[in-house]
């Protein structure tokens, strides 16, 4: 599944970089094909895309939907599978998640928790006498 997903990702990226999809919206945007998730039976490929800078996501997604049949046929030729997988497109939100996690890790609260403790009373003291 992973190998086929990577082949499909490369095929879609190749089609976009060559400009083989004739659409004014796609011609105006640089689109990253970040990952592809295949179903276990290899009959469905979910292609995760992200326009550069996250601009016009809904327009770009609609453009991909308009050319779904063409892309499916081209993917089948390039990847050479027994059956052409059904293709669906989704906006990749993993970039947003990474940004959110970075912001959390760089927050003052987390930095304060990660700073080394001072030597004055912050470490637990041993009680009792030595035996």
Class of CATH domain 2-105: alpha beta
Query: How do residues 78-97 score in pLDDT, each as one tens digit?
Result: 998 888 899 999 998 876 66
Domain ranges of the chain: 2-105
Q: Is the pLDDT of residue 115 over 90?
A: no
Q: With a cut of 60, say whether residue 113 has pLDDT above it.
A: yes
pLDDT for 131: 47
Give the 3-state secondary structure percentages of the chain, helix then strand then coil, rounded to 5.
Answer: 50, 15, 35
27-77: per-residue pLDDT in tens?
A: 888 888 999 999 999 999 999 998 887 778 889 999 999 999 999 999 999
pTM: 0.70
Regarding predicted confidence, which is higher, 21 or 123? 21
CA angle 70, 75, 81 (to 5 degrees): 130
Q: How far apart are CA 126 and CA 131, in angstroms?
A: 13
Whether 126 shows a pLDDT value over 60: the answer reads no
């Amino acid at each position: 599944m992973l190998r086929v997903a990577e082949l499909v990702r490369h095929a879609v990226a190749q089609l976009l970089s060559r400009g083989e999809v004739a659409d004014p919206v796609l011609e105006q945007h640089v689109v990253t094909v970040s990952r592809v998730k295949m179903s276990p039976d290899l009959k469905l490929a979910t292609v995760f895309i992200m326009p550069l800078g996250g601009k016009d996501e809904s327009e770009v997604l609609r453009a991909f939907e308009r050319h779904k049949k063409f892309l499916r046929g081209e993917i089948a030729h390039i990847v050479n599978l027994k059956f052409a997988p059904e293709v669906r497109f989704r906006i990749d939100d993993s970039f947003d998640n990474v940004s959110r996690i970075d912001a959390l890790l760089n927050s003052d609260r987390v930095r304060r928790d990660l700073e080394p403790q001072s030597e004055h009373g912050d470490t637990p003291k041993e009680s009792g006498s030595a035996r």
